[in-house]
């Protein structure tokens, strides 16, 4: 028996029929673990189907929310902000999927265990040039014709703002990560650093992509690999000797072929 492997994919966007059909081609790897790094779907029924399919095929499944999971949708309009997050966490747990609310699992490798740290950190509009003031970030994006649907669909209740929610999440994650002494794999839907945000067609979309509070976490918390999605710009980067994996599938125009397995990224 070969040793277990850790795989990741994000941004399945199962609201699209083409993406749902592609996801059906997910192959079973009964010894391996799978990370679903957010933007799987907006609606609870689609999320539940993905959790069932993934847990049938993998030994262990780990999920972190993307912004799309947090949208308030017609299927459950009363679920806003934290309540929507809590509902998806409950759904994940019902199917044995690990979430950012669970103890960090350990993944054994030939060179020792890695602590797998699924996080939910959101964004605080700080991925912007220094001359753009905090309260002018959205206007700065709007000047370039950009607006993120999150501004209408992702509510922060009961937190005063998304920034406040983000900062509370960052503080909690920082506390949990500080208690670990082993090497880690950090998973967050949003990239941990501004210099990872490569969006040549829509550079000002960066304000909806992360927080500068996490720029040093890859070294500070001894990450071997940092896994993220959100950008729909698949790729591998190395910074300070740490591997950063952007593992998005993306919208139907952003992938090709008939086999989702080629889009799974090997993490460990």
Interface ranges with Fe ion (CB under 5 A): 11, 39, 66-67, 230
107-138: b or e for each residue (b if 16 or more CB lie within 10 Å)?
beeeeeebbbbbbbbbbbbbbbeeebeeeebb
Which CB sits closer to Fe ion, 18 or 219?
18
| Shortest reach from residue 197's CB to Fe ion, in Å | 12
| Shortest reach from residue 12's CB to Fe ion, in Å | 9
Phi, psi of 169 (to 5 degrees): -65, -40
Which CB sits closer to Fe ion, 119 or 268?
119
Which CB sits closer to Fe ion, 70 or 115?
70
Is there a contact between 53 and 23 (Cβ–Cβ < 8 Å)? yes
Considering only CA atoms, which of 165, 200, 1 is closest in space to residue 80?
A: 165
Which CB sits closer to Fe ion, 19 or 67?
67
Which CB sits closer to Fe ion, 14 or 44?
14
For Fe ion, the nearest residue by Cβ is 39
Is there a contact between 72 and 100 (Cβ–Cβ < 8 Å)? no
Which CB sits closer to Fe ion, 40 or 225?
40
| Shortest reach from residue 11's CB to Fe ion, in Å | 4
Q: Residue 74: CB partners within 8 Å, gap ≥ 6? A: none
| Shortest reach from residue 4's CB to Fe ion, in Å | 27
Q: Pairing mode, if any, of strands 112-119 and 106-109?
A: antiparallel
Considering only CA atoms, which of 182, 184, 166 is closest in space to residue 227?
A: 184
| Shortest reach from residue 108's CB to Fe ion, in Å | 31
C-alpha to C-alpha distance for 2 and 238, rounded to whole angstroms: 27
| Shortest reach from residue 164's CB to Fe ion, in Å | 20
Instruction: Kindly state the DSSP code that residue 190 receives in the 8-state scheme.
Output: S
């Amino acid at each position: 028996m070969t040793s277990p492997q850790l795989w990741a994919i994000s941004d399945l966007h199962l609201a699209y029929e083409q993406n749902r059909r592609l996801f059906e081609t997910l192959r079973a790897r009964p010894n391996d673990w799978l990370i679903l790094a957010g933007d799987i779907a907006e609606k609870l029924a689609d999320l539940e189907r993905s959790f069932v399919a993934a847990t049938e095929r993998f030994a262990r499944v780990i999920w972190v929310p993307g912004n799309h999971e947090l949208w308030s949708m017609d299927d459950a309009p009363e679920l806003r902000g934290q309540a929507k997050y809590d509902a998806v966490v409950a759904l994940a747990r019902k199917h044995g999927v690990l979430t950012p609310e669970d103890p960090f699992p350990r993944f054994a490798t030939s060179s020792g265990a890695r602590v797998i740290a699924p996080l939910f950190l959101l964004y605080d509009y700080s991925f912007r040039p220094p001359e753009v003031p905090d309260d002018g970030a959205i206007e700065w994006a709007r000047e370039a014709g950009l607006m993120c649907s999150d501004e209408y669909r992702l509510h922060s209740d009961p937190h005063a703002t998304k920034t406040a929610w983000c900062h509370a999440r960052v503080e909690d994650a920082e506390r949990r990560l500080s208690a670990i002494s082993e090497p880690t794999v950090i998973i967050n839907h949003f990239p941990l650093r501004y210099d990872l945000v490569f969006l040549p067609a829509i550079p000002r979309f960066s304000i909806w992509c992360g927080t500068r509070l996490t720029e040093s976490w890859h070294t500070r918390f001894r990450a071997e690999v940092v896994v993220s999605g959100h950008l729909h710009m698949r790729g591998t980067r190395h910074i300070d000797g740490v591997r950063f994996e952007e593992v998005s599938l993306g919208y139907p125009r952003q992938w090709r072929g008939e086999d989702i397995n080629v889009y799974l990224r090997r993490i460990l």
